[in-house]
Each structure stands twice: as C-alpha cells, then as structure tokens.
Structure 1
Amino acid sequence: MAKLYFYYASMNAGKSTTLLQADFNYRERGMTTMLWTAQLDDRGGDKAIESRIGLHAEANRFAAGTDLWERVMASHRTQPLACVLVDEAQFLTKEQVWQLARLADEGGIPVVCYGLRTDFQGELFPGSAALLGIADALVELKGVCHCGRKATMNLRVDASGAAVKQGAQTEIGGNDRYVALCRKHFSEALSA
C-alpha cells in the first residue's frame, strides 16, 4: 500500500539533498519518478530543485491553483510512476495535501514530501500543518544550531544579520536571509 510521507526540518538540514538521493535511488533501478517544487521559489532557475551541496534536478512547479491529482495521474497513465517527490512542501495548500494523500490512497503511488515545519515566527505553514495532520509517516531530519543542539527553528535576518520579527510568512531566501537555530537561541534572538 502506497503512503504519504512528510520529511520536515529547519533550513539547512539536507531536505533537498535527501529528496534528490531518493530520486536517484529510484531512477538507478529503472523506475520513473515525478518531482515537484513550489513555483514561487525560483532560486534554482532551470535546475528547479537544488541542494546546497550542488546536487540538482529539473522538477514540475506547483502554484496554489495546481491540481496535483490531475497532473500526476495524467503522467501516471502515460508512464507508471514509482514515486512522487515534493520539495518545498510547506507551500502546498491544504487541498493539495489531500490531493497527494489521494494519489497514495487511490492512485497507489507513494508520495514523499520535504519541507519546513514552521516559519520565521515559529508558526506552522498551511501545507506543513496539513501534512503533520494526515501523513502516514512523519520523519524529522536534523539540522544543527551554532551551539551544537538540534536546530528546529528558522530565524529570518536582515542584511546586517539582525533578527526580523515581523513580515509576510513567505519570503524566499537562503543563508543570506535565514539561520537555523535551536529553540533557545531562536527565542533569545527574537527577544534581543
């Protein structure tokens, strides 16, 4: 029976690297996969999914209105898929998460999602909240804070490195805009 998986972590914990390794493993065995990532994150350009260690792959892009059930099943009917892999899953809508669950339940296709659990204020992203609620398996990947503890939080910083305490939930950026921290150092940075 196919399942819906959610691998979550802070930034810089290797989510995209893990996704690309899983994709490689399927393809190495002659199996077909389908990769997805958020349309709003265009930092990878043509590479679409790109890890900090230099691995990359092309992927389909989803927006809030993308019907993942229809798009994946159309591809699956042409060439059977062994797995669907979704990067930046925090940007999925609740409806899209249910579409992915349907792919596993009715389509018989394993779906593996990778994303952030919380935003720069410690609040759940809508896609992450839905995945935490209905995924068959939850797997936490470990990031590391500068103190050596497990990083679970994502601190947004400005150009000078100061903590940003307010703003839109979604602002695309990498190491220039976010720092992965343990909860203690995240709280200290926000209260400074």
Structure 2
Amino acid sequence: MAKLYFRYGVMGSSKTANALMVHYNYAERGQRALLAKPSVDRRDGGHVIRSRMGLEHPCVYFHEIDDAMVKEYDCVIVDEAQFLTKAEVQYLAHVVDDLGIPVICYGLRADFRGDLFPGSQELLAISDIIEEVKTICWCGKKATYNARFDENGVVLKEGEQVVLGAGEKYVGLCRKHWAEGNMGNKPK
C-alpha cells in the first residue's frame, strides 16, 4: 500500500543526501524513482538535486509533473518539500491515494524564526508517516531549530522567510541555544 512520507530535519541533517540514497536504492533494485524539487530552488543550477556532501542527480521541477509522468515511476521523491504549496501537497496525496505510488518528501519543518513553512504544515497535517532526520547541536543535544546568522555570528530572528543559496549562514541548534542565540563554538 502506497503512503505519503514526510522526512524533515534541520539544515545540515543530510536530508538531501538521504533522498539521493533512497533514489539509488530504488535503481539498485531495478525500480524507477522520480526525483523532483520546487522550481524556487535553483541553487544548484536548475534541474539537479545536490547534497552538501557532493552527491547529485538530475531531477524535474515539481510543476513539470503530471499523472502521465508519475505513472512511469515506482516512487516519487521530493526534495525541499517545505517550498511546496498546499495544493501541491494535496496533489501528492492524489498520487498516493489514487495512483498507488508512494511519495517520499524531504524538507525543513520550520524556518529560522521557528515558523512552519506552508508545504511542511500541510505535510505534517496529511502525511501517513512523519519521520525526523536527526542531527545534533554544538552542545550534543538534538538540533531542532534552524538558526540563521549574520556575518558577525549573531543569530537572527527576523527577516525574509526564504533566502536561497545562503546555506553557510545557517546552523542547526537545540531549542535552548536557538532561543538564547548561542552558537557555541561555531566559527564566526
């Protein structure tokens, strides 16, 4: 039975590497997995999903997907799912429920202010399986917040929700250190 999965984590928790590994696992078993991402994410030069570790694979933009394309695959994998709209997440539910194809979404749960992204909010509401991709804060506790910091290493709590291509300006922190704005031994 097909299911809708949402695998979320903070920046640097290897969500994209995880997505690419799942894609590889499908291929290794002779099955086809469709890799997709929202078109707002053009950091890696377009139709490619690339992890910080250097793993990469071609993909399609989410808006290019339709039922005819999806039916050619055994699974759909969506990276940066936090950027999906509510309607796009509802389409993924259709892929699962009506077409019988599993969908695995990877993304951030919340932004640097602690607010849910629209796509993540809908995925949290309707996904069959919700799993956390974990990483740790500098103190060793589980990192649950995305901290954005400026050039002086000051943790920011205001600003635009989406700033693409600034991955070096984010770090995962535990709730306590995010609230305190404490980046610990993070180089400034």
TM-score (norm 1): 0.90
Letter in 1 for 2:177: H
Matched-pair contact (CA < 8 Å) for 2:70–2:76: no
1:75 maps to 69
Please state whether the residue corresponding to 1:150 is helix, strand or coil. coil
Matched-pair contact (CA < 8 Å) for 1:16–1:49: yes
Please state whether the residue corresponding to 1:118 is helix, strand or coil. coil
1:117 maps to 109
Q: How far off is 1:167 after superposition?
A: 1.1
Matched-pair contact (CA < 8 Å) for 1:120–1:156: yes
Where does structure 2 lack aligned partners over 5 or more consecutive residues? 183-188
Q: How far off is 1:128 after superposition?
A: 0.3
Given the alignment, which residue of 92, 99, 102 partners 2:91?
99
2:6 maps to 6
Identity of aligned residues (%): 47
Q: How far off is 1:25 after superposition?
A: 0.5
Matched-pair contact (CA < 8 Å) for 1:7–1:113: yes
2:150 maps to 158
Matched-pair contact (CA < 8 Å) for 1:5–1:137: yes
Please state whether the residue corresponding to 2:24 is helix, strand or coil. helix
Letter in 1 for 2:141: R
Matched-pair contact (CA < 8 Å) for 2:32–2:75: yes
Q: How far off is 1:46 after superposition?
A: 4.9
Q: How far off is 1:76 after superposition?
A: 3.5
Gap change, CA 1:151 and 1:96, over 3 Å in 2: same
The 2-side partners of 1:59 and 1:5 are apart by 19
CA distances 1:134-177 after superposition (whole Å, capped 9, x unpaired): 00000011011000110010011112221222111111134421
Q: How far off is 1:47 after superposition?
A: 6.1
Matched-pair contact (CA < 8 Å) for 2:109–2:117: yes
Letter in 1 for 2:18: T
Matched-pair contact (CA < 8 Å) for 2:47–2:61: no
The 2-side partners of 1:38 and 1:115 are apart by 11
2:34 maps to 34
Given the alignment, which residue of 90, 93, 118 partners 1:126?
118
Give the count of matched residue pairs.
182
CA distances 1:91-143 after superposition (whole Å, capped 9, x unpaired): 00011101000100001110000000000100000000000000000001101
Q: CA RMSD for the aligned pairs?
A: 1.5
Please state whether the residue corresponding to 1:106 is helix, strand or coil. helix
Matched-pair contact (CA < 8 Å) for 2:112–2:148: yes
- Tell me whether 163-172 or 104-113 shows the greater mean CA deviation: 163-172
Letter in 1 for 2:135: G
